[in-house]
Amino acid sequence: MTKSYSTLDRRTLLKGTALGIGALAAPAIVSRKALASSGELNFTGWAGYPALAEKVFPAFEAATGIKVNFKELPDQDTMFAEAKVALEAGGIDVIEPTIDRVGAWDSNGLLGTFDESKLAMDNYLPGLADGAAGERSRPGGALKYVPSVWGTESLVVNTADAKLSTPPSLGDLFNPENQAVLRPHSSLAAMGRWLDAQGKLPRPWMDGYSDMAAMVELWDIALAEAVKAKGNVVQWWSGENEANAGFTANGATVGLCWDSTGFNLRNDGFAYVAPVEGAFAWHQGFVMMKNATNVEQAHEFVKWVSTAEGAAGWASAFSSNPVGKGASDLLDPEVAAYYNGTFNDDALSKLWWWPDQSAEFLAKRAEYADKYKAA
């Protein structure tokens, strides 16, 4: 499943005002039980977003009295490995994957279940915690994932030196005239989608996400074509810091990167551009470990991020889109302007949501990524 998410009107969502994250320390009703135990939460999330520790977690503590112990990791594969260790050793209460990984995490016995009566499900914008996304959040019928932020993975381009098609295309990533910074598995998917758009695949690219035989057939083709174009890759990335370095240290002129990378480089001659095939879109959220010890605090944390204040802070930290109603009115106005400059109505209509990816698919995908890097 991909595009069955409702497409949000980003122009409405990202209005923005003069208010920033400084408005986050709003009072909250906190369960006495949450504060009666440790008053702390062990959270493992994404590296490269300093505003979380500098602004958002202090705001949450000011609002609830709960302290966040934050461990940063660069990518989801590392998070998954860390979660498997924590299932035996403990130490993680909440962790933050994307919705397409929930099935794999659940099938490995990692996830606990949220008590919806302790959350505020009505806080979320339509289409993010209900509908198709809501179904994907409930493997086996129990709520095991709630949204935290959503965004895109698209073209980051050097406005002076990148060689772009008219209109810009995923194919520009493989143009030998460009120096590219790429994430291996994303760029293989980009190659597949580009070939699919040109009618050069024997079946739709999407078939590979639900049929492993089709996956091998299609990814073999994408890998062969990507290897042919590999000479223009100057940096592989798996996390935010590496992606930024590809441009600032290694001279990349184009990359397939998260929105936050483009935002971080927006004043250095780079632009964030939606390809004609549509930007990749991701839906990120919180899961609770099956052996979480600070369960009440976990619920308070998740609930706070669903509020207007919490959602605005989380989205501003990631330079991405909020999940809570009313958050757009508190969003950092510079973030709002950045998105409105990238995604017009046509680009919004073409968003390509990452589909569900089973544990078997992810293992095979990792093999293709390794082959691509080693070729």
DSSP state of 52: I
pLDDT for residue 336 = 78
DSSP string, 138-182: -GGGS---EEEEEEEEEEEEETTT----SS--GGGGG-TTS-EEE
Which token pair is 240?
């935010």
pLDDT for residue 333 = 83
pLDDT for residue 319 = 86
Main-chain phi, psi angles of 11, to 5 degrees: -65, -35
DSSP string, 273-298: E--TT--EEEEEEEEEBTT-S-HHHH
pLDDT for residue 346 = 86
Helices 184-197, 212-228: inter-axial angle, 10-degree rounding? 100
CA-based nearest residue to 222, from 202, 237, 246: 202
Other CB atoms within 10 Å distance of the CB of residue 60:
27
Which token pair is 230?
């590999």
User: CA-to-CA distance for 55 and 271, rounded, in angstroms?
Assistant: 26
Model-level pTM? 0.78
Contact 77, 366 (CB under 8 A): yes
Q: In a structure prediction context, what are the per-residue pLDDT tens digits for the chain, which is 375 residues long?
A: 232 333 333 333 333 322 233 333 333 445 554 443 459 999 999 999 999 999 999 999 999 999 999 999 999 999 999 999 999 999 999 999 999 999 999 999 999 999 999 999 999 998 899 988 999 999 999 999 999 999 999 999 999 999 999 999 999 999 999 999 999 999 999 999 999 999 999 999 999 999 999 999 999 999 999 999 999 999 999 999 999 999 999 999 999 999 999 999 999 999 999 999 999 999 999 999 999 999 999 999 999 999 999 999 999 999 888 999 999 889 878 887 887 788 888 887 898 999 999 989 999 999 999 999 999
Q: Distance of alpha carbon 61 from its chain centroid, rounded?
A: 24
Helix (H, G, I), strand (E, B) or coil at 91: coil
Cα distances from 310 to residues 53, 59, 322, in angstroms, run: 13, 8, 9
pLDDT for residue 20 = 31
pLDDT for residue 300 = 98
- Residue identified by tokens 């184009």 is 254
Which token pair is 8?
């949000």
Helix (H, G, I), strand (E, B) or coil at 257: strand
The DSSP H or E segment spanning 345 is helix 345-349
Contact 284, 150 (CB under 8 A): yes
pLDDT for residue 38 = 59
pLDDT for residue 332 = 76
User: CA-to-CA distance for 80 and 247, rounded, in angstroms?
Assistant: 28
Amino acid (one-letter) located at 112: G
Which token pair is 320?
């991405």
CA-based nearest residue to 154, from 362, 368, 338, 356: 338
Contact 60, 66 (CB under 8 A): yes
pLDDT for residue 328 = 84
Cα distances from 235 to residues 69, 169, 181, 259, 275, in angstroms, run: 32, 20, 5, 18, 21
Helix (H, G, I), strand (E, B) or coil at 361: helix
